[in-house]
């Protein structure tokens, strides 16, 4: 449905997007991640035909956006960052305008407007001017406008940014409901959102794609992938804490033990495995044989935020961080 | 071979989606935009001020009654100077506001061409100016009640005034595309329109006529709104004057499209 190849955008000397390529199929929800200024919005603006690429191409539903921008724009529903809408209009007149410009006529027009209005729950505010609406409602108006023509491709720039947890949940549910029949791209800063709605994540940094895969495969790149977290009641005695740590470190396949925190007489550790090893059984057996009073024992699936940080930061900063953490574990 | 196939699928898809034509796009944009003027007090304030000031100019400064003539020359002679300040107040928001509110990204990702958007917005502003102009009809009724004016000349002057407003608006549209600051758009538009007006003013012409070659004087006069407007307002609708305004509007709108396209990423 979406096929972009070698997309480049330069603003003067600054290269905002530097050779980005990926494809999105129907049924996929692609989470577009990256630090601020990484080029997420710029990439989306090129796919939607708002910005002209310096080089490369974007195909949507078989149409090249550079050659047939209007056909591409017909196929896409786009929610720009901040969900801009004409503030003096009411949702009713605004959606009417979008319907007219999308070529919806007669009973079809009314049916589609009624459908999206009930879908995003705008019924109560249809005759209020948009600038008097709360942020959550404004976002819903933008979403309603984006999905009004039931587009095959939906592109959303930070659809949940600035919403409260309930509103975020609603928007995510809506995206999930639509995902089966559409190709969806959404950008986000929120890593939990990737788990909640995305089937695939692309991480972009300084204009280039640095990771592309399912949330699970990305998480597997984390240092914490297959690490074991354990909390033991030690009564707060420092010699007992030290003993536990020493025992854990003595295990085969254990690279190191980190993050000891002591709370109400409980000590928590994260035990890092040597690469590729699984150590949960070993740790569990050790705890049983030593008769530790274990509060919690858990396998870490990996941390997306850590993967995000390590691959989006310049190499120097990442290395320094790793050194500091290993120093603390000694 | 492959290109023929892709063209085929394109046309079937386009017809299935009931693609709105370019005119539909322009028309829809124009309707929204014109409706937008009346959603805020701006439109009403503008119309009231326009009517008040034309009234004051015509009757007080213009000496409408004192002249004792059944025509509207005193009414129309102030239009260029009135438009100089009122029209930029309408045109300044055309594109500045879209950029400031971020709605330009919405507008230009709708399935319309940039040309349709530029034209639709301009036509809305022009129609709005036309509405304000039509609302001066009591003056026309007055002059017909008091005497027997040449209504053909009055109609020509109305057309001339409308074309003049269109010329100012088209220039204002291009300026408005340059900046997201409406005040700056207003000031620059006033200055540029002032230049267009003044290039035919007797003051400028007398300064030039002493030394400048006649061709230059003619060229500068040819650029003037004032000369063209005066000619039409006398009841002579010359095709060349119509072509002048049409060309000026077309060029300014083309410039608007180029500037919007160049600036949208910034």
Identify the contact set of chain B against chain A, taking CB-CB distances under 8 A: 6, 9-10, 13-14, 17-20, 24-25, 28-29, 31-32, 35-36, 39-40, 101-103, 105-106, 108-113, 261, 264-266
pLDDT band for position B17 (cuts 50, 70, 90): very low
DSSP state of B152: H
**H or E segment to which residue A256 belongs:** strand A254-263
Which residues does chain B have within 8 Å of residue A73's beta carbon, measured at their own beta carbons? 109-112
DSSP state of B38: T
Q: What are residue B39's phi and psi, to 5 degrees?
A: -80, -20
pLDDT digits (tens, 9 = 90+) for B136-174: 999 899 888 988 888 899 999 999 999 999 999 999 999
pLDDT digits (tens, 9 = 90+) for B70-92: 778 888 888 898 999 999 999 99
Which residues does chain A have within 8 Å of residue B35's beta carbon, measured at their own beta carbons? 93
Compare CB distances from B112 to A85, A101, A145 and report the shortest one's residue. A101
Q: Report d(CA B56, CA A257) in Å as an integer.
A: 88
> How far off is chain B from A72, nearest CA to CA, in Å?
8
**Helix axis angle, B79-91 relative to B151-178, nearest 10°?**
40
Share of chain A above pLDDT 70, in %: 94
End-to-end CA distance of chain A: 52
Compare CB distances from B9 to A62, A88, A102 and report the shortest one's residue. A62
Q: ipTM score of the complex?
A: 0.84
* Token pair listed for A269: 């550790």
Q: Is A103 on the interface with B (CB under 8 A)?
A: yes
- Pick the closest to residue A260 from A243, A278, A280 (CA basis): A243
Compare CB distances from B108 to A50, A86, A129 and report the shortest one's residue. A50
> How far off is chain A from B92, nearest CA to CA, in Å?
17
- Pick the closest to residue A86 from A24, A31, A129 (CA basis): A129
pLDDT at A324 over 50: no
DSSP structure string for A97-114: HHHHHTT--HHHHHHHHH
Q: From A148, which residue of chain B is nearest by alpha-carbon distance? A: B110
Q: From B11, which residue of chain A is nearest by alpha-carbon distance? A: A71
- Pick the closest to residue A131 from A174, A94, A90 (CA basis): A90
- Pick the closest to residue A156 from A60, A78, A59 (CA basis): A78
pLDDT at B190 over 60: yes
What's the pLDDT score for residue A292? 84
Residues 6+ apart with CB under 8 A from A8: A15, A17, A18, A19, A20, A53, A54, A55, A56
Cross-chain Cβ contact A61/B13 below 8 Å: yes
Q: Is A54 on the interface with B (CB under 8 A)?
A: no
Total residues belonging to chain A: 330
Q: From B18, which residue of chain A is nearest by alpha-carbon distance? A: A103
Q: Report d(CA A139, CA A144) in Å as an integer.
A: 9
- Tell how far CA A190 is from the center of its chain: 5
What's the pLDDT score for residue A320? 44
Place of tokens 């995902």: A179
> How far off is chain B from A313, nearest CA to CA, in Å?
26
pLDDT band for position A318 (cuts 50, 70, 90): very low
What's the pLDDT score for residue A114? 94
Between residues B247 and B266, which one has the greater pLDDT? B247
Phi-psi category of residue A55: left, alpha or beta, with phi > 0 → left and psi -120 to 50 → alpha: beta
Cross-chain Cβ contact A84/B24 below 8 Å: no
pLDDT digits (tens, 9 = 90+) for A254-311: 888 887 677 777 888 888 888 777 888 888 888 888 888 888 888 887 777 778 888 8
DSSP state of A162: T
Angle at A198 between CA A197 and CA A201, to 5 degrees: 150
Mean pLDDT, all residues of chain B = 84
> How far off is chain A from B32, nearest CA to CA, in Å?
7
pLDDT digits (tens, 9 = 90+) for A32-88: 988 888 889 999 999 999 999 999 999 999 999 999 999 999 999 999 998 999 999
What's the pLDDT score for residue A187? 93
pLDDT at A321 over 50: no
What's the pLDDT score for residue B19? 54
Beta strand pairing call for A55-60 and A2-11: antiparallel
Which residues does chain B have within 8 Å of residue A150's beta carbon, measured at their own beta carbons? none
**Mean pLDDT over residues A300-329, rounded?**
60
What's the pLDDT score for residue B22? 67
Between residues B63 and A289, which one has the greater pLDDT? A289
Share of chain A above pLDDT 90, in %: 44
What's the pLDDT score for residue A94? 96
What's the pLDDT score for residue A323? 42
**Which of A29-38, B100-109, B216-225 bottoms out in mean pLDDT, i.e. has the lowest?**
B216-225
Q: From A96, which residue of chain B is nearest by alpha-carbon distance? A: B32
To 10 degrees, the CA torsion angle through A221, A226, A227, A231? 140
Handedness of CA A70, A71, A77, A78 (dihedral sign): negative
Q: What is the CA radius of gyration of chain B?
A: 21
- Pick the closest to residue B136 from B236, B58, B71, B40 (CA basis): B58
What's the pLDDT score for residue B157? 92
pLDDT digits (tens, 9 = 90+) for A194-250: 888 899 999 998 889 988 888 888 887 777 778 888 888 877 677 778 888 888 888
Compare CB distances from A89 to B25, B39, B266 and report the shortest one's residue. B39
Between residues B203 and A163, which one has the greater pLDDT? A163
Which residues does chain A have within 8 Å of residue B266's beta carbon, measured at their own beta carbons? 11
SS3 A38: coil
Place of tokens 């910034």: B266
Residue B128, classified by CB atoms within 10 Å of its CB into exposed (0-12), middle (13-18) or buried (19+), is: buried
> How far off is chain B from A270, nearest CA to CA, in Å?
47
What's the pLDDT score for residue A238? 73
């Amino acid at each position: 449905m979406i096929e972009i190849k070698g997309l480049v955008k330069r603003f003067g000397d600054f290269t905002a997007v530097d050779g980005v390529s990926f494809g999105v199929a129907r049924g996929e929800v692609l989470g577009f991640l990256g630090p601020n200024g990484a080029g997420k919005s710029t990439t989306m603006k090129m796919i939607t035909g708002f910005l002209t690429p310096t080089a490369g191409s974007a195909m949507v539903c078989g149409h090249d956006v550079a050659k047939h921008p209007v056909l591409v724009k017909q196929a896409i529903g786009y929610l720009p960052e901040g969900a801009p809408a004409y503030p003096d209009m009411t949702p009713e007149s605004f959606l009417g305008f979008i319907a007219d410009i999308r070529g919806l006529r007669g009973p079809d027009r009314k049916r589609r407007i009624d459908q999206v209005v009930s879908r995003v729950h705008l019924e109560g505010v249809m005759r209020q001017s948009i600038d008097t609406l709360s942020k959550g409602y404004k976002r819903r108006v933008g979403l309603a406008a984006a999905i009004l023509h039931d587009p095959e491709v939906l592109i959303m720039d930070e659809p949940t940014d600035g919403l409260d947890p309930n509103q975020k949940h609603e928007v995510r549910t809506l995206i999930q409901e639509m995902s089966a029949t559409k190709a969806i791209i959404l950008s986000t800063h929120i890593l939990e959102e990737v788990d909640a709605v995305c089937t695939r994540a692309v991480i972009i940094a300084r204009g280039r794609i640095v990771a592309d895969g399912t949330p699970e495969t990305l998480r597997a790149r984390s240092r914490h992938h297959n690490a074991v977290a354990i909390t033991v009641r030690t009564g707060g005695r420092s010699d007992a804490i030290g003993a536990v740590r020493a025992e854990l470190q003595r295990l085969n396949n254990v690279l190191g033990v980190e993050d000891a925190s002591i709370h109400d007489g409980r000590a928590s550790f994260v035990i890092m495995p040597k690469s590729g090893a699984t150590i949960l059984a070993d740790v569990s057996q050790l705890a049983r044989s030593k008769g530790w009073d274990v509060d919690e024992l858990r396998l870490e699936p990996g941390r997306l935020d850590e993967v995000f940080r390590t691959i989006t930061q310049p190499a120097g900063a990442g290395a320094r961080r790793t050194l500091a953490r290993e120093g603390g574990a000694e | 071979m492959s290109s023929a196939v892709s063209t085929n699928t394109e046309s079937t898809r386009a017809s299935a989606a009931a693609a709105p034509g370019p005119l539909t796009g322009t028309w829809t944009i124009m309707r929204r935009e014109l409706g937008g003027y009346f959603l805020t007090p701006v439109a009403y304030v503008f119309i009231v001020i326009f009517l008040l000031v034309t009234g004051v100019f015509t009757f007080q400064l213009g000496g409408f009654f004192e002249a004792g003539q059944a025509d509207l020359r005193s009414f129309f002679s102030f239009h260029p100077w009135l438009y100089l300040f009122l029209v930029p107040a309408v045109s300044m928001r055309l594109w500045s506001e879209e950029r400031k509110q971020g709605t330009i990204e919405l507008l230009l990702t709708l399935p319309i061409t940039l040309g349709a958007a530029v034209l639709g917005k301009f036509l809305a502003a022009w129609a709005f100016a036309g509405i304000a102009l039509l609302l001066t009809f009591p003056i026309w009724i007055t002059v017909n009640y008091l005497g027997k004016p040449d209504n053909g000349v009055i109609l020509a002057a109305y057309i001339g005034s409308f074309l003049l407003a269109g010329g100012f608006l088209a220039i204002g549209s291009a300026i408005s595309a340059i900046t997201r600051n409406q005040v700056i758009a207003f000031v620059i538009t006033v200055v540029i329109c002032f230049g267009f007006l003044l290039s035919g003013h007797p003051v400028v012409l007398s300064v030039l006529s002493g030394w400048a070659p006649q061709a230059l004087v003619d060229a500068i006069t040819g650029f003037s709104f004032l000369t063209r407007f005066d000619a039409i307002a006398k009841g002579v609708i010359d095709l060349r004057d119509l072509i002048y305004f049409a060309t000026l509007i077309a060029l300014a709108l083309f410039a608007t499209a180029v500037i919007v396209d160049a600036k949208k990423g910034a």
